[in-house]
Each structure stands twice: as structure tokens, then as C-alpha cells.
Amino acid sequence: MDSKGWTPLHYTAWKGHVKAAECLLECSNMKCARDREGRMAFSVVAESEHEQSHARTCLVDLLGWGDTLLRAVRVDNVHDMKKCLGEGVSVNGRDQNRWTSLHWATFKGRIKSVKVLLEHSAEVETVDDAGYTLLHCDAEVDHLQVALYLIAHDS
């Protein structure tokens, strides 16, 4: 940490270095570290000069909005989902178990979330680390309406 309270992740985010940010997040838990002004690395990206670049989009997803999207999906908050997706969050981003937002929506039986994610081109033929497809996730909890909707979208 430097005199501003910035961690290596703050600087990585400020400079737009996606691979370095991924590396830092794999080997540390500094995602929520705050500088002396109370800003996390996510805030630094939002204020950086990389306004519309691919790097900014990746960093925004990696450092913040991806988590927000997953939380919104888990509680079926369609408004927040659309906000995240409108900000450029990857609809196919994955969590630590390689589950996408669509995996979570399927598993939780969140039909409104499933519909929004598919409207935003979520991948239907996706698998997690254990080889589970979306229909495998649904079969675990038996959400018939979700299963039928996925089948209609070629899952």
C-alpha cells in the first residue's frame, strides 16, 4: 500500500491491465481493499482514462459489476440485472465454480432472470467445472417452467 492507500490492484485498474488484475485476484483477496478516500479498485476503473475501451469493460466486470449481476440474478432483481448488462457486464461471466449467471438463475428457478439473460445472448450450451449443463442444474431442483424455457432455447 502506498501513501494514497492504493494497492497493486488499484494501480493495475487505473492503468487498464486486465491480465495483471486477474493474476492479483487469483493470488490475493484485495478486491475490496479501499484507499484513503474509501475507493476500491472498481471505483478507480470507473474514473480512469480507459472510458470506452475493451480493457475497461473487462475490468469493470472483473472488479465489480459481475458480482453485482450474480447477486441480482440470485434474488431475481431484473432491474439491477438490466442495469449491469447495460453497463457492459459480460452476460457469460463466471464465478469461482465456473457458473454463469444463467446457471444461477436456472438453479434458483428464477424464470424472469432466465428470460432477461437469454434476451441478452447468454450462452445456453455452457458447462461448469463439474460438466454440469443448465439442464443438469435444473434437474437437481426440478424447476419445470425453467427447464421448458431452456429447452425452447435449444439447451
The domains of the chain, with CATH numbers, are 79-155 (1.25.40.20)
- Closest to 146 in 3D by CA, of 107, 99, 95: 107
**What's at 79, amino acid-wise?**
H
Average pLDDT on 68-78 reads 86
> Does residue 90 or residue 92 have the better pLDDT?
92
Q: Which string of b and e fits 97-130 if b means at least 16 CB within 10 Å?
A: eebbbbbbbbbbbbbebbebbbebebebebebee
Total-model pTM: 0.63
* pLDDT cut 90: percent of the chain above it: 25
| 75, three cell numbers | 434474488
| 59, three cell numbers | 475490468
- Closest to 68 in 3D by CA, of 112, 34, 31, 39: 31
pLDDT digits (tens, 9 = 90+) for 126-153: 888 888 899 988 888 889 999 999 999 8
